[in-house]
Chains A and B, each alone.
Chain A
C-alpha cells in the first residue's frame, strides 16, 4: 500500500468527521473550531494533489480570514453563544434534500466522466505552477474576464462597506 494513500485516508476521514461535528454540535464556538479542522483538512487534500498554491491560499483565505471572522462574530454575540440552541432548525428537511441532491449529483458526475479511475500524472518538478497560474489568470485567452469581474465585485464590496460605515 502506498504511503500517500494512507495519508489521504487519514485526511479524508478527519475532514469528514470534522464536517459532521460542525453540523451536529450545539455549541457554536466548538462548531467553529471544528470548521477550522475541516477547512485545514481540505488544504491538506490540496497538498496531496500537489496544488501547493491552492493549499496555501485555502489556509490564508478560509482559516486566516473567514474562520477567524466567524469565531470573532460568535464571541461578540456571546450571550447567544451561552444559551444552548435547540440544534436543528425547522429548515433541516430542505437542507437534507438539497445536500443529498448535491451528493448524488457529484457521485453521478464522478462515475460518468471518463478518466477518473486513472492515477494523476506525475508533475514535472521544474514546472513553476505559480507563474503558470498567474499567466493564465491575466492572459486574454485565459481567464482575464472572470478575474477582472471578481476584482470589480471586490471593489464594489469595499466601497459598499465604506458607504455603510460612513459617519453622517
Chain B
C-alpha cells in the first residue's frame, strides 16, 4: 500500500513479460503509460482548478460563483467543456494556417513537457535528468514562441500587439526567474531536481533563501501572463491579445495552458523552495509524498490566485521598471551574496540551523535594503498636465475658447 505506484509498475512489468514481451518493449510500454497518465492527471487537475478558481474569484468579489450545475456548481466545468467542443473552428482570412493551428498545440505542450522531470515522490520520478533546472528553462521558452506564433499568424493587429507586448514582458522576466533559480542550484550543488529536494531536508529553501523565493514567485507570475501582469491579453485594450482570433477548442487549449501553467508554477515553487514531496513520513510512504507534492503545489496556486484577484493590472512602464530597476538588481546581488556566504560557511562548518539562520538574515537584509533604497529613489510620479476641458461642450464654443 505504501508504495502503490511502484507496486503497480512491478505488477504490470511482470504481466507484460509473462505475455512474452521483450524487456525493451515492456520498458517502452510502461514509460509511455506513465507519460499518458501524467498528462491525464494534469488535464483532470485543470478541470478541478477552473472550478476552484471561479468559486474563489466569486467569494473574493463577494458573489457566489458557479452554483447551478450540481452541488456548489462542481459540474460547471464539464458543461463548459461540452459547450467549447461543439463550437465552430474559425480560421480568419489571411491567416497563416499551419502556424495558426500549431500555436495552441505548442502552448499546451510547452507547459506539459515541464512535468516530465518532476519528482512526485522519493521513488516516483519521470526523468531524473542531470540538467533538470536548465530543461525547465528551455521548455519554458517554447511558450513565448507559441504566443508569438499565435499573435503573428492571426492576421489581426490586436493579436500582433498582444504578442509584441508579451515578448517584451516574458523575455525580461525570464532573467530574474533564471537568476533566482540559480540559487537552489548553488545550494544543492546540482541541477538534478531530486538532488535539490534531498538538500531541503529538513530545512526548506524558503527558510534559507526567502528573497530568491519571492523573486521567483513574482517573475513566474509575470511568465504566466495573468493579472496583475496580464498586459498581453488586456481585455480593455487589446480585445483578448494574442488569442483574439481563436475559437472553440483552439481557444480552450490556450485557456487550459494558462491554468496548467499557473499550477505548474505552484509545483516549481514546491520543488525549489518548499521541499517538494518531503513531509512527515513521506520517505517511508511514497504515496504520502505524492499527496504532499500536489497539496503544496495547490496551496501555492491558491496564493497566486489570491494575489491576482486582489491587484489591478499594472501599466507597461511600471511593469518594465519593476523588472529592470528592482527585480534584476536584487536577484543578482542576492545571488552574489548567497554564493559568497555559502563559500565562507563551507569552511567554518557551522551546525545546519546556524547556517540556515545566517542565510535567512542575509537574504532578509538584502531585501529590506533594496526595498528601502527603491522607496527612497522613487521619482515623483510624472503626471502630464492637460488643460481643463469640460465633457459636454459644443464644438463651436470649444473652437472659440481655444
User: B130 at interface (Cβ–Cβ under 8 A)?
Assistant: yes
- Residues facing B in A113-132 (CB within 8 A) are 128-130
Given A33-B149, A71-B148, A72-B148, check contact A130 B191 (CB 8 Å): yes
Partner of B171, one of A30, A33, A68: A68
What separation, in Å, do the CA atoms of A67 and B149 have in the docked complex?
A: 12
User: B35 at interface (Cβ–Cβ under 8 A)?
Assistant: no
Q: Is the CB of A56 within 8 A of B138?
A: yes
| Chain A residues whose C-beta falls within 8 Å of the C-beta of B251 in the assembled complex | none
Q: Is the CB of A52 within 8 A of B142?
A: no
User: B239 at interface (Cβ–Cβ under 8 A)?
Assistant: no
What separation, in Å, do the CA atoms of A60 and B178 have in the docked complex?
A: 11
User: A53 at interface (Cβ–Cβ under 8 A)?
Assistant: yes
| Chain B residues whose C-beta falls within 8 Å of the C-beta of A52 in the assembled complex | 129-131
Q: Is the CB of A129 within 8 A of B163?
A: no
Q: Is the CB of A68 within 8 A of B135?
A: no
Partner of B145, one of A29, A67, A75: A67
Partner of B131, one of A36, A53, A63, A71: A53
Given A56-B135, A72-B167, check contact A64 B141 (CB 8 Å): yes
User: B258 at interface (Cβ–Cβ under 8 A)?
Assistant: no
Given A64-B144, A75-B152, check contact A128 B130 (CB 8 Å): yes
Kindly provide the distance from the CB of B43 to the nearest chain A CB, expressed in whole angstroms.
Answer: 25
Kindly provide the distance from the CB of B130 to the nearest chain A CB, expressed in whole angstroms.
Answer: 6
User: A57 at interface (Cβ–Cβ under 8 A)?
Assistant: yes
Partner of A72, one of B96, B142, B164: B164
Q: Is the CB of A68 within 8 A of B137?
A: no
| Chain B residues whose C-beta falls within 8 Å of the C-beta of A68 in the assembled complex | 141, 144-145, 148, 167, 171
User: A76 at interface (Cβ–Cβ under 8 A)?
Assistant: yes
What separation, in Å, do the CA atoms of A30 and B99 have in the docked complex?
A: 9
Kindly provide the distance from the CB of A19 to the nearest chain B CB, expressed in whole angstroms.
Answer: 18
What separation, in Å, do the CA atoms of A67 and B142 have in the docked complex?
A: 11
Q: Is the CB of A75 within 8 A of B134?
A: no
What separation, in Å, do the CA atoms of A52 and B163 have in the docked complex?
A: 31
The interface bits of chain A over 59-70 (1 if a CB of B lies within 8 angstroms of the residue's CB, else 0) are 110011101100
Q: Is the CB of B134 within 8 A of A57?
A: yes
Kindly provide the distance from the CB of B244 to the nearest chain A CB, expressed in whole angstroms.
Answer: 16
What separation, in Å, do the CA atoms of A29 and B150 have in the docked complex?
A: 12
What separation, in Å, do the CA atoms of A151 and B131 have in the docked complex?
A: 22
User: B160 at interface (Cβ–Cβ under 8 A)?
Assistant: yes
Name A's interface SS. Answer: helix
Kindly provide the distance from the CB of B265 to the nearest chain A CB, expressed in whole angstroms.
Answer: 18
Q: Is the CB of B130 within 8 A of A60?
A: no
Q: Is the CB of B144 within 8 A of A60?
A: no
Kindly provide the distance from the CB of B170 to the nearest chain A CB, expressed in whole angstroms.
Answer: 9
What separation, in Å, do the CA atoms of A52 and B133 have in the docked complex?
A: 12
Q: Is the CB of A29 within 8 A of B141?
A: no
What separation, in Å, do the CA atoms of A64 and B171 have in the docked complex?
A: 9
| Chain A residues whose C-beta falls within 8 Å of the C-beta of B142 in the assembled complex | 63-64
| Chain B residues whose C-beta falls within 8 Å of the C-beta of A36 in the assembled complex | 145
| Chain A residues whose C-beta falls within 8 Å of the C-beta of B96 in the assembled complex | 29-30
| Chain A residues whose C-beta falls within 8 Å of the C-beta of B134 in the assembled complex | 53, 56-57, 60
The interface bits of chain B over 161-175 (1 if a CB of A lies within 8 angstroms of the residue's CB, else 0) are 001100100010010
From B99, B142, B152, residue with most partner A Cβ within 10 Å: B152
The interface bits of chain A over 35-52 (1 if a CB of B lies within 8 angstroms of the residue's CB, else 0) are 010000000000000001
Q: Is the CB of B137 within 8 A of A75?
A: no
The interface bits of chain A over 72-85 (1 if a CB of B lies within 8 angstroms of the residue's CB, else 0) are 10011010000000
| Chain A residues whose C-beta falls within 8 Å of the C-beta of B131 in the assembled complex | 52-53, 56, 130
Partner of A63, one of B141, B152, B163, B174: B141
Q: Nearest A residue to B136 by beta-carbon distance?
A: A56
* Other A-B pairs beyond A60-B134, A75-B163, 16, CB < 8 Å: A29-B99, A29-B152, A30-B96, A52-B129, A52-B130, A53-B131, A56-B138, A59-B138, A60-B137, A64-B144, A68-B141, A68-B145, A68-B148, A68-B167, A75-B148, A75-B160
15 A-B pairs, CB-CB below 8 angstroms? A29-B99, A29-B152, A52-B130, A52-B131, A53-B130, A53-B131, A63-B141, A63-B145, A64-B138, A64-B141, A68-B167, A72-B164, A75-B164, A129-B130, A130-B131
- State the B residues within 8 Å of A (CB): 96, 99, 129-131, 134-135, 137-142, 144-145, 148-149, 151-152, 160, 163-164, 167, 171, 174, 191
